Amino acid sequence: MQVPLLDLKAQYATIKDEVLEQINEVLDTQRCIGGPKIEELECAIAGVCNCKYAVGVSSGTDALVNSLMSLGIGQGDEVITTPFTFFATVGSIARVGATPVFVDIDPVTYNINPALIESAITERTKAIMPVHVYGQMADMDPIMQIAGQSSLAVIEDAAQAISATYKGKKAGEMGTCGCFSFFPSKNLGGIGDGGMIVTNDEELYHQLFIMRNHGMEPKYYHKYIGGNFRLDPIQAAALLVKLPLLDNWSQARRKNAAYYNKKFKETVVQTPMVSEDCVSIYNQYVIRVPRRNEVVKHLQSNNIGCEIYYPVPMHLQECFGYLSQDVGSFPEAEKAANEVMALPIYPELTNEMQDYVVDTILNFLS
């Protein structure tokens, strides 16, 4: 049996005709930048996130970069974040000239540990950037409280968590703004790169809006140096077809997660923990296992897709060597990086495929 980590063809087969029709509509108008599809998607995503405003952008990474730029964060500023994330989180902070300041994770949820944030705040701190890793939101109440006390912005990196909730609040709803990615492997994936920023702050919305188009307002007048962070209408067209299906897909992922959880019960495999406060969208289903690297190799040689998110925490990446954070600085992130692995969890996965994954792991470890 073959079990890929993700099977986008299975999903595409169910929506192909509608996607092609929507893309054709865009092509027939030859309105290939901006236009009604972008606005329709922004409106719909704002709705999903219980936010007033949304700005479509070219990627999740550009959502983060635009947010930082629009909040005026740059040289000399510090942004507190987690070392256990995809590179884009920390890369964005560094690219605007600010300094990433890491705080270790909660080993159970893999999200930033709010209890460690306060001691990382200095007079240069401008923002906290929590990441809702694997599809489960970070512990936002204490994060918002700490941010409020010190007048810090909170930029939610919600790239893996669209429509996930924390105490009934949506990803992107609580922070100053929330950043989403439509990279094809996210729960809501486009047919290429794309992203979105949501906010309830009208002034920030306006700044995000003009910064995505070179900081231009009015035409050919530039008070700010922005970029080309625009979302393509072809992406918006495809995403508008997929968005109504998002909740069903996330539900199917939760069902698959529950099935794995049951099968791994009372084994050496440590299954993911979802806080009582949260509904996860399981962008990834991540276990901890002994002899992790051998298990990964074994699955691969049995035609089972799996991946390590993420093998090297950000403070140990070569490019961030200038931050002088040695091995041992963030022990929980480092431990997680050595023990975690993600299993296939996509909606179209069958119980038979899951049985094969579970048996292959347990047979190897027994």
Ligand X SMILES: *Cc1c(COP(=O)(O)O)cnc(C)c1O
Least separation in angstroms between residue 59's CB and ligand X is 3
CB nearer ligand X, residue 79 or residue 353: 79
Q: Is 235 a residue that touches ligand X (CB under 6 A)?
A: no
Q: Is 157 a residue that touches ligand X (CB under 6 A)?
A: yes
Q: Is 215 helix (H, G, I), strand (E, B) or coil?
A: coil
Q: Are strands 165-166 and 340-343 parallel, antiparallel or unpaired?
A: unpaired
CA distance 262 to 202: 46
Q: Please select the residue that binds ligand X; options are 131, 177, 281, 336, rule is CB under 6 A.
A: 131
Token duo for residue 167:
């105490």
Sign of the CA dihedral running 137, 139, 140, 144: negative
CB nearer ligand X, residue 142 or residue 184: 184
SS3 annotation, 54-74: EEEECCHHHHHHHHHHHCCCC
Q: Please select the residue that binds ligand X; options are 160, 165, 199, 256, rule is CB under 6 A.
A: 160
| Main-chain dihedrals φ then ψ at residue 12, nearest 5 degrees | -60, -35
Least separation in angstroms between residue 301's CB and ligand X is 27
CB nearer ligand X, residue 157 or residue 334: 157
Q: Which stretch binds ligand X (CB under 6 A): 76-84, 98-106, 152-160, 349-357?
A: 152-160
Tell which positions 187-216 bind ligand X, by CB under 6 A: 193, 195
Least separation in angstroms between residue 185's CB and ligand X is 8
Nearest by Cα to 277 from 153, 142, 158: 142
Per-residue DSSP letter, 252: H
Nearest by Cα to 85 from 293, 311, 329: 311
Q: Is 59 a residue that touches ligand X (CB under 6 A)?
A: yes
| Main-chain dihedrals φ then ψ at residue 83, nearest 5 degrees | -80, -10
Least separation in angstroms between residue 237's CB and ligand X is 18
Q: Is 109 a residue that touches ligand X (CB under 6 A)?
A: no
Q: Is 159 a residue that touches ligand X (CB under 6 A)?
A: yes
Give the ranges where 30-153 is alpha helix by DSSP (H): 36-48, 60-70, 87-95, 140-149
Q: Which stretch binds ligand X (CB under 6 A): 82-90, 244-252, 296-304, 352-360?
A: 82-90
Least separation in angstroms between residue 89's CB and ligand X is 5
CB nearer ligand X, residue 199 or residue 235: 235
CA distance 274 to 257: 11
Q: Which residues here bind ligand X, judged by CB under 6 A?
A: 59-61, 85-86, 88-89, 131, 157, 159-160, 181, 183, 193, 195
